[in-house]
Structure 1
Amino acid sequence: MSRRPLPPPFPPRPKGLWRDTPPAIFPPIMGLMGLGLGWREATTTLGAPSGIGDLVLGAAAMLLLFCLIAWLAKPLRRPGVISEELRVLPGRAGMAAMVLSLVLLAAALVPLAPGLALGVLGVAVVGHLALMGLVIRTLLTGPEEGRVVTPVFHLVFVGPILWPLSALPLGFDAQAVLWATIPVALVIWAVSAVQLIRRIPPAPLRPLLAIHLAPASLFAIVASQFELVVLANASALLAAAILVALLGSARWITAAGFSPLWGAFTFPLAAFATALLSVSGGAGLVGVLGGVALVAATLAIPPIAFKVLQAWAKGSLAARTNAAVA
């Protein structure tokens, strides 16, 4: 009896520095940047020591720059790697978080170096618009099952709501971004709710549901910047309702145990805390809750970031998130 031939072996992963840097490193870095901006808001509203926010932002900025260099080594070797990253959900989320982290970096630089902040914001906006185009092309040319609306759509298509955080202090009237992104978020929320009713997402992907908290929180922050009190309060209330729903489902959402997708918990937590501080000015019960939320975010975000980056350092993160190889 003849034996069946063995399948060909998988090709070995190419060797070289940073050939498989996974985009999954960027969501927790975005969370750290948001945490630093949250502490900066707490300095204004609660009288927190200014050094906390600056320390977190400084460390997160250095980490972001290092990770950017590590990831950019891939498209510099082989530009086609960008399209490959966008074909998988962790890659798409990571790429969006990468450009949004640059937007947050610009916001962090505004009071320190406005000219540099403007340059970083310009690069981030161009990068984000390019990312939108690439994602749309991927959705249109990819398989039909890949066109399902996911929470990651918020990062890609509602992410511009972060632009006013630095654009307004730099003298640009970016209120149109707020009104343009609200209907997009509403559509994503509505479609996602229908999908959630019709089909239970697999356990490994459930942490991505936390991203739904981010747009409502950011609408509250940006509306506060423009002194749109009613919209800011309504957005904060919606964010609180989403958070309550997420907390009530926490055991179900985390049923698969820790994974790199837990990075999706980080930036929404920071945004929610900042939203409460922004709409309340640090006063009253909402201000107290904002302080509590900020402390909770501080206890949660760095450990998640550490574990994700530790997996990268050990060499397992790329394979676990299907990162493209240059």
Structure 2
Amino acid sequence: MTETVISRQPHRSIVAFLPVGLFGSTMGLTGLSVAWRQAQIRYEAPPLIADTIGLVALLTFAALVIGYAAKVMTAPAAVVAEFRHPVAGNLFGTVFISLLLIPIVLAPYSLLLAQAIWLIGAVGMVVFAWTIVSRWMSDRQVVAHATPAWIVPVVGMLDLPLALPSLGLPPMHGVMVLGLAVGLFFAIPIFTLVFSRLLFEEPLPPALQPSLMILIAPFAVGFSTYVVTTGQIDLLAESLYVLSLFMLVVLVGRLRHAATCCPFNVSWWAISFPLAATAIAGIRFATAAASSVADVIALLLLGFATLAVLALLARTLWGMARGELAAMSS
């Protein structure tokens, strides 16, 4: 029934269903490419794997930019409503996070283009984070709206420094500290607020259950950002990494039945980037620790993230081919 209705609507109506949260697929694919590039250095993995995943990430991002630009032009009211939504509005951060991560993949091939994209993403991320924090402080918020999506602007600021070591830009220690400080500072109250909402309010709807995996991101990304900014793995870095592992085990147990009880939609992509970020953190930690146990954990994380992202990509493409974009966006 849904497929028949969609097929009879004009193209502009189909584009109107495109959710901004689908940019989370670019985040997950790019993060996975970076993880395999780390594995190439640490474990001599074939470079073709990282390059192929990176290419898919770039093509996905380009397709989403074209599609969402069409949505802006043909359905501006839908875009405004999406941005003003107390939950979905936070997912606009996935666009800027993608712009901050893509330069890591692009840098070996076009350093100038990578630098330009990072600058756009950095400015956009700071402005977006400021806008969202101002929104939170300006209006009375509803506790039920405090979902894991609220963490996205925080994670976006933590992503600010990650590409800088590979971009060849002038020293930007202040920018790196800005991303680390704002990201970690706001991660604490936002995580506490979301966790409190999960404890004392009604459970998340089944369609939003996979977004719980976002709760890992502040710790996994925070670890990498801290290491990139300070150049060392100290007690705080180790603590962030261990916290990401602890949250991963908790949430995997919590979501072990999600595939059978939660309908597939865009929110499923929320698991991709946290898993990729945890794999990156695992390989970074294993490189510094030089421990066989750390290596085993890192390889398990990488394998889990790879299987999850490939499954999400296949399911999304299959659904779009069957005309299920509207259903996956609900």
Tell me how far apart the structure 2 counterparts of residues 194 and 241 of structure 1 sit (CA, whole Å). Answer: 18
Map 1:1-326 to 2 at 5 A: 15-16=11-12, 18-88=15-85, 91-92=88-89, 94-132=91-129, 135=132, 144-145=141-142, 148-170=145-167, 171-173=171-173, 174-199=176-201, 200-225=203-228, 226-230=230-234, 231-251=236-256, 256-260=261-265, 261-281=267-287, 283-284=290-291, 285-322=293-330
TM-score normalised to the size of structure 2?
A: 0.84
State the Cα deviation string for residues 71-123 of structure 1 (Å, max 9, x = none). Answer: 11121345444321224477436422222112110121223322111100111
Tell me how far apart the structure 1 counterparts of residues 130 and 316 of structure 2 sit (CA, whole Å). Answer: 28
Q: CA deviation at 1:38?
A: 0.5
Kept after mapping to 1: 8 A contact 2:154/2:184? no
Tell me how far apart the structure 2 counterparts of residues 187 and 119 of structure 1 sit (CA, whole Å). Answer: 33
Tell me how far apart the structure 2 counterparts of residues 204 and 258 of structure 1 sit (CA, whole Å). Answer: 6
Could you tell me which amino acid in structure 2 is paired with residue 222 of structure 1? T
Percentage of pairs with the same residue? 25
5+ long unaligned stretches in structure 1: 1-11
Kept after mapping to 2: 8 A contact 1:217/1:272? yes
5+ long unaligned stretches in structure 2: 1-7
Tell me how far apart the structure 1 counterparts of residues 123 and 231 of structure 2 sit (CA, whole Å). Answer: 27
Kept after mapping to 2: 8 A contact 1:32/1:60? yes
Tell me how far apart the structure 2 counterparts of residues 154 and 63 of structure 1 sit (CA, whole Å). Answer: 23
Task: Go from structure 1 to structure 2 and tell me whether the alpha carbon gap of 1:271 and 1:281 turns closer, same or farther (over 3 Å shift).
Answer: same
State the Cα deviation string for residues 141-188 of structure 1 (Å, max 9, x = none). Answer: 888538732211221233111111112333422133212211211111
Higher relative contact order (CA 8 A, sep 6+): 1
Structure 1 SS opposite 2:181:
helix
Structure 2 SS opposite 1:112:
coil
Could you tell me which amino acid in structure 1 is paired with residue 116 of structure 2? G
Q: CA RMSD in A?
A: 2.7
Could you tell me which amino acid in structure 1 is paired with residue 156 of structure 2? G
Tell me how far apart the structure 2 counterparts of residues 68 and 25 of structure 1 sit (CA, whole Å). Answer: 11
Structure possessing the higher radius of gyration over alpha carbons: 1
Higher share of residues assigned helix: 2
Structure 2 SS opposite 1:86:
helix
Kept after mapping to 2: 8 A contact 1:86/1:138? no
Kept after mapping to 1: 8 A contact 2:106/2:113? yes
Task: Go from structure 1 to structure 2 and tell me whether the alpha carbon gap of 1:255 and 1:203 turns closer, same or farther (over 3 Å shift).
Answer: farther
Paired residues, number: 311
TM-score normalised to the size of structure 1?
A: 0.85
